[in-house]
Structure 1
Amino acid sequence: MDVGGLVAAGPVWVGSSELTMSLDGIVACVDAGAGAVVAKSVNESAAARRQLDIADYAFVSGDRQVRPPGRAYPGDGLLNRSGLAQVDLDDWLGILAAGVAHGAAQGCPVVGSITLGDPAAAARIGRALADVVPAVELNIGAPHGREARAVRQLTEVDGVRDAVRTVRAAVGVPLFVKLPGQASDVVALARAARSAGADAVGLVGRYPGFLPDLDGGAVLGSWGAWSSPGCLPMSLYWVSKAFQQLDVPIVGTNGARTVTDVLRFLASGARAVEVVTALWIGGPAVLRELVDGVAEVGDDFVGSALAGTREYADVPPPPSPAWEPYTARWMSSGR
Structure 2
Amino acid sequence: MDVAGLVTANPVWVGSSELTMTPAGLAACVDAGAGAVVAKSVNESDAARRQLDIADYAFISGDREVRPAGEARREDGLLNRSGLAQVDLDDWLEVLAAAAGHGATRGCPVLGSITLGDPAAAARIAHAMAAAVPAVELNIGAPHGREARAVRQLTEVDAVREAVRIVRSSVDIPLLVKLPGQASDVVALARAARSAGADGIGLVGRYPGFLPDLDGGAVLGSWGAWGSPACLPMSLYWVGKTRQALGADVPLVGTNGARTAADVLRFLAAGARAVEVVTALWIDGPGVVAELVAGVEAYLATREGGLDAFVGSALAGTRDYADIPPRPSPAWLPYLGSSGQ
Fold-level match, TM-score > 0.5? yes
Consecutive unaligned residues in structure 1, runs of 5 or more: none
TM-superposed deviation, 1:331: 4.2
Deviations 1:167-204, CA, capped at 9 Å, x for gaps: 00001100000000010000000000000000000000
Q: Which residue of 1 aligns with 2:270?
A: 268
TM-superposed deviation, 1:124: 0.2
TM-superposed deviation, 1:205: 0.2
Q: Counterparts of 1:18-97 in structure 2 under 5 Å? A: 18-97=18-97
Q: Which residue of 1 aligns with 2:255?
A: 253
Seen in structure 2, the aligned counterparts of structure 1 residues 329 and 175 have a Cα distance that, compared at 3 Å, is farther
Counterpart Cα distance in 1 of 2:109 and 2:338: 54
Q: Which residue of 1 aligns with 2:289?
A: 287
Consecutive unaligned residues in structure 2, runs of 5 or more: 301-305
Counterpart Cα distance in 1 of 2:226 and 2:18: 16
Q: Counterparts of 1:184-203 in structure 2 under 5 Å? A: 184-203=184-203
Counterpart Cα distance in 1 of 2:61 and 2:146: 25
Q: Which residue of 2 aligns with 1:119?
A: 119
Q: Which residue of 1 aligns with 2:337?
A: 328
Counterpart Cα distance in 2 of 1:45 and 1:238: 30
Paired residues in the alignment total 332
Q: Which residue of 1 aligns with 2:156?
A: 156
Deviations 1:2-54, CA, capped at 9 Å, x for gaps: 11111111100000000000110000000001000000000000000000001
Deviations 1:239-298, CA, capped at 9 Å, x for gaps: 000000103110000000011100000000000000000111111232111011112342
Counterpart Cα distance in 1 of 2:307 and 2:78: 31
Counterpart Cα distance in 1 of 2:245 and 2:221: 41
Other structure's SS at 2:37 match: strand
Moved over 3 A (4+): 328-332
* Residues 1:312 and 2:324 aligned together: no
- Amino acid aligned to 1:270: A
Deviations 1:74-99, CA, capped at 9 Å, x for gaps: 11000000000000000000001110
Other structure's SS at 1:178 match: strand
Other structure's SS at 1:217 match: coil
Counterpart Cα distance in 2 of 1:257 and 1:177: 22
TM-superposed deviation, 1:69: 1.6
* Residues 1:205 and 2:205 aligned together: yes
Aligned mate of 1:299, from 286, 294, 308: 308
Q: Which residue of 1 aligns with 2:4?
A: 4
Other structure's SS at 1:78 match: strand
Q: TM-score, normalised by structure 2?
A: 0.96
Other structure's SS at 1:231 match: helix
* Residues 1:168 and 2:168 aligned together: yes
Query: Is this contact kept in 1: 2:112–2:136, CA < 8 A?
Result: yes
Counterpart Cα distance in 1 of 2:70 and 2:165: 42
Other structure's SS at 1:226 match: strand
Q: TM-score, normalised by structure 1?
A: 0.98
Q: Which residue of 1 aligns with 2:303?
A: none
Counterpart Cα distance in 1 of 2:262 and 2:30: 22
- Amino acid aligned to 2:5: G
Q: Which residue of 2 aligns with 1:16?
A: 16
Other structure's SS at 1:308 match: coil
TM-superposed deviation, 1:216: 1.7
TM-superposed deviation, 1:328: 3.3
Counterpart Cα distance in 2 of 1:252 and 1:330: 41
Counterpart Cα distance in 1 of 2:220 and 2:178: 25
Counterpart Cα distance in 2 of 1:66 and 1:164: 38
Query: Is this contact kept in 1: 2:333–2:340, CA < 8 A?
Result: no
- Amino acid aligned to 1:274: E
TM-align CA RMSD:
0.9
Q: Which residue of 1 aligns with 2:235?
A: 235
Query: Is this contact kept in 1: 2:262–2:296, CA < 8 A?
Result: no
| Percent of aligned positions that are identical | 79
Q: Which residue of 1 aligns with 2:109?
A: 109
Query: Is this contact kept in 1: 2:165–2:196, CA < 8 A?
Result: yes
